[in-house]
Amino acid sequence: MVRKPQIAVIGYDAKLCTKAAYEAAYRVGTALAKRGAVVINGGLEGVMEATSKGAAEAGGLAVGIIPSDDASQANGYCGVVIPSGFGFARNFLVVNSADAVIIVGGGAGTLTEAATAYGRGTPLVAVRGTGGVADEWAGRYFDGRRTVKVSGADSAERAVTMALRAASRRASEHSTRQSKSTM
């Protein structure tokens, strides 16, 4: 069986999530599911709930990696819940599980997730017009190392296309490096 692409969607929690960000996140989740990808997120409310709901309603799978050890705290749209018990250190699990990351809005927690993905060289795509981290960092690098540029997309659907292409490129590069190292 071929592994499906795993795309993390990060962004606003319930306290800061705007209607525009929620709607964009829902469309991201729907588009990812329709394209056969697995949605990975933090499993709670806000952008996490919206992407999970979009994926679930489109027949896809959302994996929620929640901060507590109580699975009942996850939003009701996660098909798989991983109760990490790690608090917000679970942010590292979310992005480390991803082949690419899509940013929808976002505050300080989102910034830590995005910076972690950047440090690992994981492709990042920000949905412009959703506010916060997405709008602040779209089209930029986090630092002078220029590891990966945060690509900007003008729609949720375009963000999904960009993230899936980047994930596919990254998988091909990884496969090529792996086969060279076994020779």
| CATH assignment at residue 128 | 3.40.50.450
- The angle at the Cα of 64, spanning 19 to 37, to the nearest 5 degrees, equals 85
Per-residue model confidence (pLDDT) at position 174: 63
Residue 125 lies in a domain: yes
Going by C-alpha positions, the residue among 85, 76, 79, 8 that lies closest to residue 42 is 8
Q: Total domain count for the chain?
A: 1
**In this structure, what DSSP letter does residue 159 have?**
H
Residue 15 lies in a domain: yes
Residue 170 lies in a domain: yes
172 band by pLDDT with thresholds 50, 70 and 90: confident
pLDDT digits (tens, 9 = 90+) for 30-50: 999 999 999 999 999 999 999
Residue 177 lies in a domain: yes
pLDDT digits (tens, 9 = 90+) for 101-158: 999 999 999 999 999 999 999 999 999 999 999 999 999 999 999 999 999 999 999 9
Q: What percent of the chain has pLDDT over 70?
A: 94
Residue 85 lies in a domain: yes
**Does residue 85 register a pLDDT over 80?**
yes
**Residue 105 CB burial class (10 angstroms; 0-12, 13-18, ≥19):** buried
**Residue range of the domain that includes 171:** 6-181
Amino acid at 12: Y
Residue 65 lies in a domain: yes
Residue 1 lies in a domain: no
pTM greater than 0.75 (yes/no): yes
